[in-house]
Structure 1
């Protein structure tokens, strides 16, 4: 369904760099074709580190520069004007809720990172997570995507503002389904039966797959803009030239014609999603963990011949066996992915990529492990990635990481207890809060122990 020739608002939650390099860029491309029927409103749920960026973006009336870097290092500077409303943050999120409940708002998307959905290993909402418990206890103190969506949807129901599409743009498999499950269970915990019944027919939650490497902005980016004569932008974004967006075409209240600018609308996003999550996202995390252990600062610097071999083996031996045959050649995809990661001009740090690794382990890596064990094989190549993270977290426990590790789920896993144990690997492997059902697998602990020894030896030889 595509909205007719009337103005519609697309609200995005999460003012990070990725949104401004991806979703906002796509809409800007559509505007350049003359289709301005949709415009973006942008706001934050939490008073986070990106708040200063949002405030500055407001001063710039939503306009910023996107630096697009090709694999060969060619740079294109683009002015992005698709964000028409920048919503100031307030403690009650009153302005954000007001925009979300406006009848002109037909689409609400969000990038809150993988850990921002508070899902357990089985895909259900973790109602015992401290953040969820606190929010359910004090609904006026909204801290999650569920809390703000419930507030918006309640207002839409009360004012008969009409249906709305909720579009998840984070790296979760079946991300729309995950959002729907988490939201339904959150509403059930709140006890709002009227809202639950309304949501059955008034919202859609299409699955989507997003892809574009967008490193954290730094002073060097600002200097490159100055060198280009761009002196009025304090919040630029840099990204690679490659971009992909695949979405299930399930929009209950209309959508922009993004297919005109390269977005793929499909009936089933799963083959694209699984390939991207297991190849690109899992590899990205593994490279960051390995790079930190090797003392490297950035992803491209971490791609030693040994790390490349680990990644290629992981995809060739385990991902290829775990996934059914689909439209994507995994060997070619692996080659393209490693080429993209090696671009020194799109330099992403190991600190940023390794953040929120608890959710990344559970979302990106454990599904391949489980499938391979179910197939009767020991997934040694995938266990290398788990071994790298174990050694990474072991080094964190010893205060020896070259940077501060950031993870919003860090309080949900007893790492102090795990690494205080005489057999910390056993405690790590058998932690259900980390490994879910794999913690009970009869050979998982010793399989991992064997691979950790091999990886440790290889790393020592590399240093």
Structure 2
């Protein structure tokens, strides 16, 4: 249905993934003649200003290039971003848009580390960014939303859905718990009560491999379409979105564009996080350690692909069975997607944020293997690879800058410089939860690190 005054889907997080995923779905609704929902796009931090400026010059439009594993490319002009919200220190444009009564959904992509949760999935109030926001700053999703929603309550108090679109298990629930905890800690009692009663936070599962844009995308776009696009984006042809249907103040008719609206995302979420996300990291860390730059290159290296295959087959599939999904088939589709040579996704991008990915993507499988009486030998390879990766980082031997939103650089360097670095790593409760005190796990990881160190040496290019 078309309305004269459109509703707004305000999105916080102006990265490539939003523009290749959520914006594409809403664009498809526009193509069907449903003009009732528009996107307003902004960023919490001042690290996307050039992109936002480029989008603004193009009236929010840009080209999305997709490519199949067989190399078939397609180009599409995405038109769903109707407002580009410029950044300033006071978040003026974000507050104005979030306060608009027609803004009925506030969605966000802030990466796994952007939720500042510990291994018990509780908000970590000790983190410097959270400390700053508790004092009134707006560095995080919590501080930014508190500013936006305080003004919304003051003006009219219309309900709004707060929608996480990140690869975080139970993302809606865990964001919501973190946000309500933040509001309690900051003494915002009235806002806490309002958020509890006037917002919902559905869990979601999102999927499309979206590498950081490179210069050759714009060149191809110009050659194929004749459009001189300053801010194109590229992703794989595969796409999926599963959302719990719990919107408090209306939503787009997403089911008309193949979004799966469900009661619970749990089976899809667990399969995606453990099979896709964890394997992705495994391949990136292993590939980096033997001198490779690209995900497809590493996936096509049989010894690396075998590590990921064994991890999923030996440990993950038994942990997730029974499942409504064909987990073995999903594993094979995922590895095929990773091997797509046309995506040119980098090990650097996928290797990032390991300190959040270990507890979020990998530790649950370790824990469940022990619970059913199995030793998680295949899964232990992943944290072992990450430890070796951190060793190279500490020594300045990585071929790129490692980015990790949960990293205290000085503390991590101190740990890796110590004589008992592996012991400290293995007994870190923020990474491994109760397993940090489990001698079986400590012994397994120590042995696995030794084995993988030898594996890396054996697979170095001659």
> Which interval holds the TM-score relative to the shorter structure?
over 0.9
TM-score, structure 2 normalization: 0.97
Q: Which whole-Å deviations, capped at 9, do the CAs of 1:287-309 have from their partners, x for residues lacking one?
A: 00001001000000112111111
Which whole-Å deviations, capped at 9, do the CAs of 1:414-447 have from their partners, x for residues lacking one?
3222222223211211123333332111222111
Q: Does 1:285 align with 2:281?
A: yes
Q: SS state of the match for residue 35, structure 1?
A: coil
1:43 and 1:164 map into 2 onto residues whose CA distance is: 17
Q: Specify the alignment match of 1:62 in structure 2.
A: 60
C-alpha contact 1:53 1:235 (8 A) present in aligned 2:
yes
In the alignment, which residue of structure 1 is the partner of 2:162? 166
Q: Distance in 2 between matches of 1:375 and 1:185?
A: 34
- 1:54-102: CA deviation from partner (whole Å, max 9, x where unpaired): 1111111101000011221111110011100000001110110110111
Partner of 2:217: 221
SS in structure 2 of the partner of residue 91 of structure 1:
coil
Q: CA RMSD in A?
A: 1.5
Whole-angstrom distance in 1 between the partners of 2:375 and 2:189: 46
Matched, 1:409 2:406: yes
Cα distance, 1:403 vs structure 2: 0.8
Aligned to 2:377: 380
> 1:165-207 CA distances to partner (integer Å, 9 max, x unpaired)?
0110000010000111001100101112111111222000000
Partners of 2:372 and 2:242 in 1: CA distance: 29
Name the structure 2 match of 1:110: 108
Matched residue, 1:71 = 69
> Which one of the candidate residues 111, 128, 133 is aligned to 2:126?
128
Moved more, 215-224 or 406-415: 406-415
- Contact 2:275 2:331 (C-alpha < 8 Å) held by counterparts: yes
Match of 1:7 in 2: 6
1:197 matched to 2:188? The reply is no
| Aligned match of 2:325 | 328
Maintained 8 Å contact 2:3/2:35: no
Deviations 1:229-256 (A, max 9, x none): 4343100001111000000000000000
**What's the counterpart of residue 261 of structure 1?**
257
Q: Which residue of 2 aligns with 1:240?
A: 236
Which is further off, 245-254 or 306-315?
306-315
1:30 paired with 2:26, answer no
Displacement of 1:452 in angstroms is 1.3
Query: Could you say which residue in structure 2 is the equivalent of 1:19?
Result: 18
Q: Which residues of 2 match residues 290-305 of structure 1 at below 5 A? A: 290-303=286-299, 304-305=301-302
Where does residue 364 of structure 2 map in the other structure? 367
Question: Which of the residues 121, 139, 148 maps onto 1:152?
Answer: 148
Q: Could you tell me how far apart the structure 2 residues matched to 1:4 and 1:88 are?
A: 26
Kindly state the Cα deviation for residue 150 of structure 1 after the two structures are TM-superposed.
Answer: 1.0
Unaligned stretches of 5+ residues in structure 1? none
What is the alpha-carbon distance in structure 2 between the residues aligned to residue 169 and residue 443 of structure 1?
A: 36
The Cα shift of 1:375 comes to 2.0
Matches of 2:277 and 2:2, distance apart in 1: 33
**1:188: which partner in 2?**
184
What is the aligned partner in structure 1 of residue 447 from structure 2? 450
Give the count of matched residue pairs.
Answer: 459
**1:3–1:119 Cα change, 3 Å:** farther
Q: Secondary structure at the match of 1:238?
A: strand
Alpha-carbon spacing, 1:289–1:128, altered in 2? closer, same or farther (3 Å): same
Would you say the 8 A contact 1:294–1:302 is kept in 2? no
| Shift in Å, 1:312 | 1.0
Say whether the 8 Å CA contact 2:355–2:406 is kept in structure 1. yes
Kept in 2, the 8 Å contact 1:3–1:256? The answer is no
